[in-house]
Amino acid sequence: MGRHFSVGAETISILDGLDLSLERAERVAIMGASGCGKTTLLHLIAGMDQPSQGSIHLAGTDLGQLAEPALTRMRARRIGLIFQDFNLIDSLTVAENITLPLWLNRLPQPTEFLNELSDTLAIQPLLDRMPTTLSGGEKQRVAIARALIHRPCLILADEPTGSLDEATATRVMDLFDQAIKRSEATLLMVTHNREAAGLCERRLMLRNGSLQPAE
Amino acid sequence: MNPLLQFSRRFLYRHPGQLLLALVGIAAGVAVVTGVALLRDVLIQSLDLASDAIAGRDSLRIEHPAGRLAESVYVDLATRAGSPDLVPVLRARVRHQGESLEILALDPLATSTGPMGLSGPATAPLLGSARGVMLSQATLDRLQASADEPLVVRVAGRSATLDIVAVLPNRPEIDQRLIMDLANAQDLLNRRGELSWIDAPIGASAWLSQHLPDDLRLTSADQRRDSAARLTAGMRTNLAAMSLLAFAVGLFVVHAVLAFLLVQRRGQIGMLRAIGVTPGQLRTVLAAEAFVLTGFGALLGLVLGTVLADGLLDLVRAPVAEVYGLVTAGTVRPTLPLYLAVWSLAVALGLASVAGVLRSAMRIAPGELSRDTDSPAALSDRTLALIALVLALVGSMSLAIERGLELALAGLLMWLTAVALLVPAAGMALLAGWQRLRPASLSGRAVGMLRQARTRLAPALAALSLALGLSVGMAMMVLGFRAAVDDWVERLLRADAYLTVSAGQIDDDLLAEVEAWPEVVSISSARQRELPDGKRLVGFDLPAPAWAGFDWLAGDSATARPDFLAGRGALISEPMARHGQLAVGDSVSFMTPGGEQRLPVLAVYRDYGSDRGVIAIDGSFYRQWFDDRRRDSLGLYLTDPEASLEQRLATLPVEAALTTRGQVRAQTLAIFDRTFRISWALALLVGLIALVALVSALLALGLERGRDYATLRALGLTRSGLLAWVITQTTALAAAAAVLAIPISFGIHATLSLIIQPRAFGWTVPLSLPLTPWLLMLPLALLAGALAGLYPAWSITRRNPAPLLRSR
């Protein structure tokens, strides 16, 4: 699979001949220098961008064959996204932010699972608060809960600790580890943080547009 | 609640300033449209209200084509067997401290069937006082008069004291009117034996058609309403055009504010898209948001517009009375259908104006999380230029086609839209030029930041340029028109003084007496009457020098005068030629008591006195055909222009007044100025709405660029430095808008003068170039720009930069 961009007359290859397969419940970390295409890769897998060559399959479906509405529905149902900058909706409460994917998928509100997630991520006392009143660590834990609440088969995490200090990052990753284990979802995490990458069974390095096992 | 609706609701709740700006923008635009729509209704209603008050809404009116009716006609009809209930009426215009009023004189003993309360017992108080009048409470309040004190009015050039004998309940039909006993009014007005018309019930049509003398005419309420509509058509169309332009500027505000509401949530919308919200779901929630905002704003606009209409009514009341001879109601009468129509139009256009915003929202890519970059323009400059070119071409064709006024206005609107599309690119080019000139200065850097937010600022820049162009273009047209009227009056007034009588008419005896004064070299006279179709016919007696007063647009004195004096043709005014598509050699016809007269057109002259048109014939033929030997006024050509005639006046058997040429000129220009007060008011409103657009765009910019401003503060820019930075930006924007408004205003001025005026009123206005509006515009625009920047600057400088500098 490849992804190229045109800048004037020049074509820049961000990803070139990349080959990656993920098993169910597998946890994979991708590392690499800034600007090497890690986030681009996540966007491609999430169906938010299209590859210039090759194809991406998710649970047997070729994403390239899906029209935009179907791609959006697939993303809503099967993927959970975690961003470096949390990206919570400022005008919704924490609870509303977390349950937003359930509403999008027309799924019932699983009180038990919400409580379980909230306990695991230690956000129970925050549920009625607005995101603007939370610290960075709290925001990221809420973002993790939102990514897991609808039990997606794939979690895509883009530098989930990139905006946090070391201590908070360690605590968030511990909670993230517990939550992800309980969800049995596949995790593809882009990170610079070797400690965070250590949570994953497989660690890959993105270099020159393709993936190699990390040393 | 649906989380997406919650997302929208809470966002607006947490940003009350932006919500307020959005509501103010739409409300201001809708208020102007509503206000003018209500005014238009008042103008149409103004003619038939008097009959409504006396004999009911659908009454018939018996009139004489010459205007005045002999009272003997009423006596003759009323004493015939089977006569319906007839109401004789005498009407005259009077003034009280500058306020135009109408005396409506009735016979208390005859008004037995009036359905509106002006019948028998209700009018009885009038019988007890020779100068007694009744008026409504609203009229009394407006005159700031007291029922216990006498009311002093100016009638036919002199003062008269009236007694208020009763105050009537408020009704629009009697607003601005003084109800008086017929015989007393005839005495007061020196019009004994005269009536203005006779009202009759609608059921009397058959009886009247059998018994009415041939020289009288019977008009229905619908015909009278049509007549009022015809008379005021030009004024109403002008008002409507101005209000639509104001509304268009208001739509820019709505667009700017709603676009900003979107941009501010761009990151969040990108995130929503990333987690699976479909474009359809987004479109629904954002469209619902726009609908609620425009709907609620439009409701506010209806309320504001109704208040505004009452204020504007004061501005149109005097010119409508002076120019059209109509008395308007004291208050507007809103109706539910009108409100519904304006509200629906506002919501539909408001939603249409944000269609681009919605399209832009749909294009936000899933995962597009940045809000610190200017959103890409919906259309490229090349596409915009192409659309503008097409609009300009179609607009030019609409303006070029010699058809109705509506087509010309549509053409002007298309041109303005084309200009609005091109203004942002031109404005940014101007700012780029400034930045190149002073790249390292504070102003150069501040302007550079503006250029990064082009999409955000484009609607405000377009709104401001259009508003300035419109206001200045209007001002240039009005000043050019004023100069043309001044020239016309100066040329027209050839006599040294003009004699009018304050009561009665100028008859042959009086004329002979004035002619005998040794100071008088020669005399001109005019007698004017309104024809049934609204045109005016005037009988001129003009000595040779008076002919130099005509500004000929076709034909000339040398060829026209001999035939005119011999009754072999008529002169027509420019509006008459244009409305009737008449040229020299064509013929005009008009009804006289002796039958129809048809005369060839000898020449066409410039005339700003009547937009319905005038047919001028020689006075001797006028007197012969209409059996009317009176004159309205006399122009006196004196041996010595400075000669004093006061003593001579005192010897006349009637009360007469002399007006010098300079006084007539001053009065004419005063009426002109009063007529255009409404235009100034509307132009001001458009300007204010544009300022709202500017403030809203700058606030949007301030919030959008919060992080940049915070960085500047962090780097050491002081609060006052930041204040100067922001005000520099607003002033630069206003300056760019003002520069662009120069060609726009000239285009508007030229279109109004050369195309719209001729089609609305029938007269052409020579294109002039009054520079004062341009000279005033630039400093005013800069000042307005600086003022508009104060609040955004204050808002930006008081924000704590620290949170803005942190990651979202």
* Number of structural domains found in chain A: 1
Q: How far apart are CA B50 and CA B114, in angstroms?
A: 12
Stronger pLDDT, B687 or B634, i.e. the higher one:
B634
CATH number of the domain at B59-219, please? Answer: 2.40.70
Burial letters A74-94, b for 16+ CB under 10 A, else e: bbbbbbbbbbbbbbbbbbbbb
At position A180, the amino acid (one-letter code) is: I
Instruction: Suggest the residue from A77, A87, A96 to mutate for an interface test with chain B (most B CBs closer than 10 A).
Output: A87
Q: Quick one: B122 exposed, middle or buried, by C-beta within 10 A (0-12, 13-18, 19+)?
A: middle
pLDDT at residue number B697: 67
Residue B373: band (very low, low, confident or very high) from pLDDT cuts 50, 70, 90: very low
Average pLDDT for residues B629-639, to the nearest whole number?
87
Residue A106 makes CB contacts below 8 A (sequence gap 6+) with none
Over 50: is that where the pLDDT of B778 sits?
Answer: yes
For residue A8, the SS3 value is coil
Asked if B553 contacts B606 with a C-beta cutoff of 8 angstroms, the reply is yes
Q: Tell me whether residue B379 is exposed, middle or buried, using C-beta atoms within 10 angstroms of its C-beta: 0 to 12, 13 to 18, 19 or more.
A: middle
pLDDT (0 to 100) of residue B808: 42
Spatial separation of the C-alpha atoms in residues B135 and B145, rounded to whole Å: 11
Higher-confidence position of B255 and B180 = B180
**Which of chain A's residues have a Cβ under 8 Å away from the Cβ of B367?**
43, 46, 48, 81
Question: In which domain, by residue range, is A44 found?
Answer: 3-213
Q: Is B101 helix (H, G, I), strand (E, B) or coil?
A: strand
pLDDT of residue B741: 92
Residue with the larger pLDDT of the pair B124 and B134: B134
Q: Assess B6–A contact: CB distance below 8 Å, yes or no.
A: yes
Helix (H, G, I), strand (E, B) or coil at A174: helix
**How long, in residues, is chain B?**
808
pLDDT of res. B340: 93
Task: Select from A69, A92, A104 the Cβ nearest to the Cβ of B275.
Answer: A104
Closest Cα in chain B, distance from residue A136 (Å): 9
pLDDT of residue A187: 92
Using the beta-carbon criterion (under 8 Å), do B275 and A85 form an inter-chain contact? Answer: no
Contact indicator for B238, B674 with CB cutoff of 8 Å: no
Q: What are the tens digits of pLDDT across the range B48-99?
A: 455 455 545 567 888 876 667 888 888 888 888 888 888 888 888 788 877 7
Q: What is the full DSSP assignment across A72-138?
A: HHHHHHHEEEE-TT----TTS-HHHHHHHHHHHTT----HHHHHHHHHHHT-GGGTTS-GGGS-HHH
Report chain B's mean pLDDT, rounded to a whole number: 80
Where helices occur in B112-170 by DSSP H, the ranges are 120-123, 137-142
Q: Is-contact B112 B84, C-beta < 8 A?
A: no
CB contact under 8 A, B6 and A83: no
Lowest-confidence segment of B236-250, B329-343, B472-486 by average pLDDT = B236-250
Mutate to test the interface with B, among A41, A72, A150 (most CBs of B within 10 A): A72
Measuring CA to CA, which residue among B552, B545, B561 is closest to residue B496? B545
Q: DSSP states of B408-449 as a string? A: HHHHHHHHHHHHHHHHHHHHHHHHHHHHHHSTTSHHHHHHHH
Which residues of A lie closer than 8 Å to B, measured between beta carbons?
Answer: 43, 46-48, 68-69, 72-73, 75-77, 81, 83, 85-87, 89-92, 96, 99-101, 103-105, 136, 146, 163
User: What global pTM score does this model have?
Assistant: 0.67
**How far apart (Å, rounded) are the C-alpha atoms in residues B283 and B274?**
15
DSSP of B35-64, one letter per residue? HHHHHHHHHHHTTTHHHHHHH-TT-EEEE-
Distance from C-alpha of B496 to C-alpha of B639, rounded to nearest angstrom: 9
Q: What is the mean pLDDT of residues B286-295?
A: 89
User: Residue B321 — very low, low, confident or very high, per pLDDT cuts 50/70/90?
Assistant: low
- Considering only B580-589, B592-601, B690-699, which range has the smallest mean pLDDT? B690-699
d(CA A4, CA A2): 7
Average pLDDT over residues B765-770: 86
DSSP per-residue codes, B263-281: HHTHHHHHHHHHTT--HHH
- Indicate yes or no: CB of B268 within 8 angstroms of CB of A68: no
Residue of A nearest to B807 (CA): A85
Q: Kindly report, residue by residue over A80-133, the tens digit of the pLDDT.
A: 988 887 778 777 889 988 988 888 888 888 888 888 888 888 899 999 998 888
Listing DSSP states for B580-649 in one string gives TT--TT-EEEEEETTEEEEEEEEEEE---S-SS-EEEEEHHHHHHHH----BSEEEEEESSTT---HHHH
Higher confidence at residue A160 or residue B111?
A: A160
Q: What is residue B313's predicted lDDT score, i.e. its pLDDT? A: 79
What pLDDT does residue B740 have? 93
3-state DSSP of B606-624 = CCCCCCCCEEEEEHHHHHH
Set of chain B residues whose Cβ sits within 8 Å of the Cβ of A105: 276
Q: Is the dihedral of CA A173, A174, A175, A181 positive or negative?
A: positive
Q: What is the CATH number of the domain that holds A108?
A: 3.40.50.300
The mean pLDDT of B381-403, rounded to a whole number, is: 86
Res. B755 pLDDT band, cuts 50 70 90 = confident
Contacts of A155 in chain B (CB under 8 A): none
Q: Do A100 and B275 touch (CB under 8 A)?
A: yes
Contact B389, B397 (CB under 8 A): no
**Which of A114-118, B123-127, B205-209 is predicted least confidently?**
B123-127
pLDDT at B325 (0 to 100): 61
Quote the tokens at residue B775: 């000279």
> What are the start and end residues of each CATH 2.40.70 domain in chain B?
59-219
Mutation for A interface: B8, B19, B271, B275, most A CBs within 10 A: B275
- With CA atoms as reference, report the closest residue to A177 among A201, A158, A153: A201
Of the two residues B223 and A15, the one the predictor is more confident about is A15
The string of pLDDT tens digits covering residues A14-29 is 899 899 999 988 999 9
**Sorting pLDDT into bands at 50, 70 and 90, what band is B322?**
low
Tokens in use for B22?
Answer: 């959005």
